[in-house]
């Protein structure tokens, strides 16, 4: 799948972002493949993997997950620094809280001259509400910061207006879950 660049984005050094998704009942594996002039992308330095807030203010990859038919959703931020965040929302931008059931994701980053890849495995088994349904609906996105601080916003779908990854119209990927064993 390809992410689309929002029209309000700066002139991005990134030419394309593709994403591969693998789903298990209790885990989601996401691989973001970024192509372009990556020397001009501002990538945070690698640090010890840990939770951190404000990751979306710089180059960051995101996944929004909700049960089909529910307004409650979860936001996962994945930084090339290997920092991460997980939040729960009761509705559209309402009731934001840190998700205590989120486990440390495994984040792997590889960079080359013409692109980089961020892979993350999200263990969702500690979030019972996500296990209680037969399907998830996802919104997948990325914020790319260039070397001068300009930003481009990428998503599977953009609602009208300014970039808004939380908007219900951004949740466009339906994933049926494998049956419980």
Determine, yes or no, domain membership for 39: yes
CB count in 10 Å sphere of residue 174: 10
pLDDT tens figures, 76-106 = 999 999 999 999 999 999 999 999 999 999 9
From the list 18, 16, 7, the residue with the least C-alpha distance to 140 is: 18
Residue 180, pLDDT score? 59
Determine, yes or no, domain membership for 65: yes
Does the pLDDT value for residue 181 go beyond 60?
A: no
Determine, yes or no, domain membership for 144: yes
> How many domains is the chain partitioned into structurally?
1
Does the pLDDT value for residue 135 go beyond 60?
A: yes
CATH number of the domain that residue 163 is part of: 2.60.40.1190
DSSP states along 58-99: SSEEEEEEEETT-S-EEEEEE-TTS-EEEEEESBTTBS-EE-
Portion of the chain with pLDDT greater than 90, in percent: 83
Its domain, for residue 47, covers 2-175
Residue 25, pLDDT score? 76
Determine, yes or no, domain membership for 62: yes
Arithmetic mean of pLDDT over the chain: 93
Query: 95 and 29 in contact (C-beta within 8 Å)?
Result: no
Portion of the chain with pLDDT greater than 70, in percent: 98
Provide the token pair at 29: 């594996």
pTM for the full predicted model: 0.95
Cα–Cα distance measured from residue 161 to residue 123, given in angstroms and rounded to the nearest whole number: 33
Does the pLDDT value for residue 177 go beyond 80?
A: no
Determine, yes or no, domain membership for 180: no
Determine, yes or no, domain membership for 181: no
Does the pLDDT value for residue 179 go beyond 80?
A: no
Determine, yes or no, domain membership for 80: yes
Does the pLDDT value for residue 168 go beyond 80?
A: yes
pLDDT tens figures, 123-132 = 999 999 887 7
């Amino acid at each position: 799948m390809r992410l689309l660049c929002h029209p309000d984005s700066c002139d991005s050094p990134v030419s394309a972002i593709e994403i591969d998704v693998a789903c298990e009942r209790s885990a989601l594996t996401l691989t973001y493949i970024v192509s372009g002039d990556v020397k001009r992308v501002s990538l945070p330095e690698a640090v010890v993997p840990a939770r951190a807030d404000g990751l979306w203010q710089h180059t960051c990859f995101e996944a929004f997950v909700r049960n089909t038919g529910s307004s409650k959703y979860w936001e996962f931020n994945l930084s090339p620094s290997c920092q991460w965040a997980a939040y729960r929302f009761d509705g559209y931008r309402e009731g934001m809280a840190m998700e205590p059931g989120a486990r440390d994701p495994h984040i792997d980053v590889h960079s080359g001259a013409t692109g980089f890849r961020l892979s993350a495995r999200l263990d969702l088994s500690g979030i019972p509400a996500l296990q209680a349904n037969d399907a998830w609906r996802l919104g997948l996105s990325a914020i790319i910061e260039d070397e001068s601080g300009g930003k481009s916003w990428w998503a599977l779908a953009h609602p009208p207006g300014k970039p808004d990854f939380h908007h219900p119209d951004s949740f466009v990927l339906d994933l049926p879950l494998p049956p419980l064993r």
